[in-house]
C-alpha cells in the first residue's frame, strides 16, 4: 500500500478529514482495477473477433469487386483488341500500298540514274581502254624491239661462248655417268691394244728371226770370202739389231698412254664422288656454292645456311644500310627509289657471276611491291628469269626477317605472298 505523508501544517485538525477521504478513494480504485482489466480484455477480444469478421467480409467484398472489374476489363480488352487489330490491318495495308508505290517510283528513278551512270562510265572506260591500248601497243613494240636487239646481240656475240659453257656444264653434270659408261670400253680397248701389241710382237719376232737368219748366212758367206780372198775385215756389215722404236717400243708407248688416261679418269671419278658425298643442301643452296648474301638484317639467314652446311667458308654476308625510305611504300616516288636500288644491285651482281651462277632475289608479290617489276629490271641488265619459287620463312630454321628502317628496324613483319626469283645469264 502506498503511504502518503502530509506536510506539517499549523492546522492539523482541519487536515484529518481530507486524509480520510483520500484513503477511501484509494481503496475503491484498487478494488475496481481487476474489473476494469477484465472488461478491457473482453473489449479487446470482441474487437479482435470483429476485426476478423470485418477482414473476412472485406476480403469477400474485394474478391467480388476484383472479379467484376477483371471481367469488365477483359471484355473491354477484347473489344479494344479487336478494334486495334482492325486498325492495324488497315494501317498495314495503307503502308504497304504506299511502299509499293514508293518502290515503283524509286525503281524507275534508280533505273534511270543507273542507265546514265553506266553510259557515262562505259564511255569513260572505252576512252581509257583505247588510251591504254595505244600506250600498251607502244610499250609492246619497244619491248619487242628490245628483245629483238638483245636476241640479235646474243646470237652475234654471246651464242658461241654460251654454247661452250652449256656443253661444259652438261659434261660436268654427266661426268661420273660418262666415266662409268666408258670404263668397260677403255678396258676393252686396253685388252685389244695389248692383244694387238702381242700379235705385233710375235710377228716382229718372226720377222726378226728371219732377218737374223738371213744376215747370219750373209755374214758367214762374207767371212768365207774374207778367209779365202783376204779382204778388209772393216768391210764386214755389222749385224742388224732391233731398233728401239720397233714393235716392242710401240707396245710400251701404247700401254703407257692407256694407263695414264685410265688413271686420270679414275681420279676424276673418285674426286667427283667424294664431292657429291660431302655436299650438304638446304632448299636452293649447297655447301659447294660460293654464296654472297646482300641485305642481311640480323644475319639469321646466313646463320641458318652455315648451320645447315656445318661451316661457312663459302659464304660472305653483308647488311644493307637502308636510309632511302622517305615516303610510304605505295608512293610512286618511293617505288622509283626502290627500283633504282634493285637495278643497281642486279647490274653489280651480273658482273660477278660465274658461267653457271645465279642471282636470287626474295621479294613480296602483292601490291605495291609487285610494281617494282623485278623481272623487267633484271632483263634490262642482261639477266633472265630461270625460275620462281614460293618463299616461306619456316623453310629456313632460325631465320627472322627484319624491317630494316626507322625506329622499328629491328622488328619483324608479316611476309605474306612472297617469291624467290632466280636469274642467270644466257
Rg, Å, the chain Cα set: 62
Q: Is 361 helix (H, G, I), strand (E, B) or coil?
A: strand
Measure the CA–CA gap between 85 and 143, rounded to whole angstroms. 78
Which sign does the torsion angle of CA 32, 33, 39, 43 carry?
positive
- Count of CB atoms situated within 10 Å of the CB of 16: 10
Query: At residue 295, what are phi and psi to the nearest 5 degrees?
Result: 80, 30
Measure the CA–CA gap between 386 and 390, rounded to whole angstroms. 14
Classify residue 165 as exposed, middle or buried by CB count within 10 Å of its CB (0-12, 13-18, 19+): middle
Q: Which of 154, 170, 162 is nearest to 355 (CA)?
A: 162
**Do 342 and 355 meet the contact criterion of CB atoms below 8 Å apart?**
no
Classify residue 285 as exposed, middle or buried by CB count within 10 Å of its CB (0-12, 13-18, 19+): buried
| pLDDT tens digit at each of 426 positions of the chain | 444 444 444 445 445 455 555 555 666 666 777 778 888 888 888 888 888 888 888 888 888 899 888 888 998 898 888 988 888 988 898 899 898 888 889 888 888 888 889 888 888 888 888 888 888 888 788 778 777 777 776 676 666 666 766 666 666 555 555 555 666 666 566 656 666 655 665 566 566 556 655 655 665 565 555 554 544 444 444 433 344 444 445 445 545 555 555 565 666 666 666 655 578 889 989 998 999 999 888 899 999 999 999 888 889 999 876 665 678 888 999 999 999 999 999 999 998 888 789 999 999 999 999 999 999 999 999 999 999 999 988 999 999 988 877 777 788 888 889 999 999 987
Which residues make beta-bridge pairs with 285? 282
**Do 398 and 300 meet the contact criterion of CB atoms below 8 Å apart?**
yes
**Do 228 and 214 meet the contact criterion of CB atoms below 8 Å apart?**
no
Which sign does the torsion angle of CA 48, 53, 54, 58 carry?
positive
Classify residue 177 as exposed, middle or buried by CB count within 10 Å of its CB (0-12, 13-18, 19+): exposed
Query: At residue 359, what are phi and psi to the nearest 5 degrees?
Result: -115, 125
Across the beta sheet with 359-364, the strand order is 359-364, 418-424, 384-390
Amino acid at each position: 500500500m502506498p503511504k502518503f505523508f502530509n506536510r506539517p501544517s499549523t492546522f492539523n485538525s482541519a487536515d484529518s478529514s481530507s486524509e480520510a477521504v483520500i484513503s477511501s478513494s484509494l481503496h475503491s480504485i484498487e478494488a475496481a482495477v481487476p474489473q476494469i482489466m477484465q472488461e478491457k480484455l473482453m473489449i479487446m477480444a470482441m474487437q479482435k473477433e470483429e476485426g476478423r469478421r470485418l477482414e473476412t467480409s472485406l476480403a469477400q467484398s474485394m474478391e467480388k469487386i476484383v472479379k467484376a472489374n477483371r471481367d469488365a476489363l477483359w471484355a473491354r480488352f477484347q473489344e479494344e483488341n479487336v478494334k486495334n487489330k482492325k486498325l492495324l490491318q488497315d494501317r498495314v495495308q495503307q503502308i504497304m500500298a504506299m511502299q509499293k508505290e514508293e518502290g515503283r517510283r524509286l525503281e524507275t528513278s534508280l533505273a534511270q540514274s543507273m542507265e546514265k551512270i553506266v553510259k557515262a562510265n562505259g564511255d569513260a572506260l572505252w576512252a581509257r581502254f583505247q588510251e591504254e591500248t595505244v600506250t600498251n601497243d607502244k610499250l609492246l613494240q619497244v619491248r619487242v624491239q628490245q628483245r629483238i636487239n638483245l636476241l640479235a646481240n646474243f646470237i652475234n656475240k654471246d651464242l658461241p661462248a654460251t654454247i661452250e659453257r652449256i656443253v661444259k656444264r652438261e659434261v660436268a653434270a654427266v661426268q661420273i655417268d660418262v666415266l662409268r659408261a666408258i670404263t668397260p670400253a677403255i678396258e676393252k680397248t686396253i685388252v685389244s691394244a695389248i692383244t694387238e701389241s702381242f700379235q705385233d710382237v710375235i710377228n716382229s719376232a718372226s720377222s726378226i728371226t728371219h732377218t737374223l737368219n738371213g744376215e747370219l748366212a750373209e755374214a758367214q758367206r762374207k767371212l768365207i770370202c774374207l778367209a779365202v780372198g783376204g779382204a778388209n775385215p772393216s768391210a764386214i756389215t755389222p749385224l742388224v739389231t732391233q731398233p728401239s722404236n720397233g714393235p716392242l717400243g710401240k707396245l710400251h708407248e701404247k700401254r703407257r698412254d692407256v694407263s695414264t688416261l685410265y688413271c686420270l679418269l679414275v681420279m676424276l671419278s673418285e674426286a667427283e664422288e667424294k664431292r657429291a658425298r660431302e655436299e650438304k643442301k638446304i632448299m636452293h643452296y649447297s655447301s659447294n656454292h660460293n654464296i654472297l648474301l646482300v641485305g642481311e638484317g640480323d644475319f639469321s639467314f646466313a646463320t641458318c645456311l652455315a648451320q645447315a652446311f656445318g661451316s661457312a667458308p663459302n659464304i660472305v654476308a653483308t647488311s644493307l644500310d637502308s636510309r632511302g625510305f622517305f615516303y610510304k611504300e605505295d608512293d610512286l616516288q618511293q617505288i622509283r627509289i626502290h627500283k633504282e636500288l634493285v637495278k643497281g644491285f642486279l647490274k653489280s651482281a651480273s658482273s660477278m657471276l660465274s658461267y653457271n651462277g645465279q642471282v636470287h632475289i626474295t621479294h613480296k608479290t602483292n601490291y605495291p611491291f609487285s610494281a617494282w617489276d623485278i623481272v623487267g629490271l633484271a632483263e634490262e641488265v642482261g639477266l633472265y628469269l630461270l625460275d620462281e619459287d614460293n618463299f616461306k620463312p619456316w623453310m629456313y630454321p632460325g631465320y627472322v626477317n627484319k624491317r630494316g628502317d626507322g625506329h622499328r628496324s629491328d622488328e619483324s613483319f608479316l611476309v605474306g605472298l612472297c617469291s624467290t626469283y632466280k636469274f642467270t645469264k644466257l
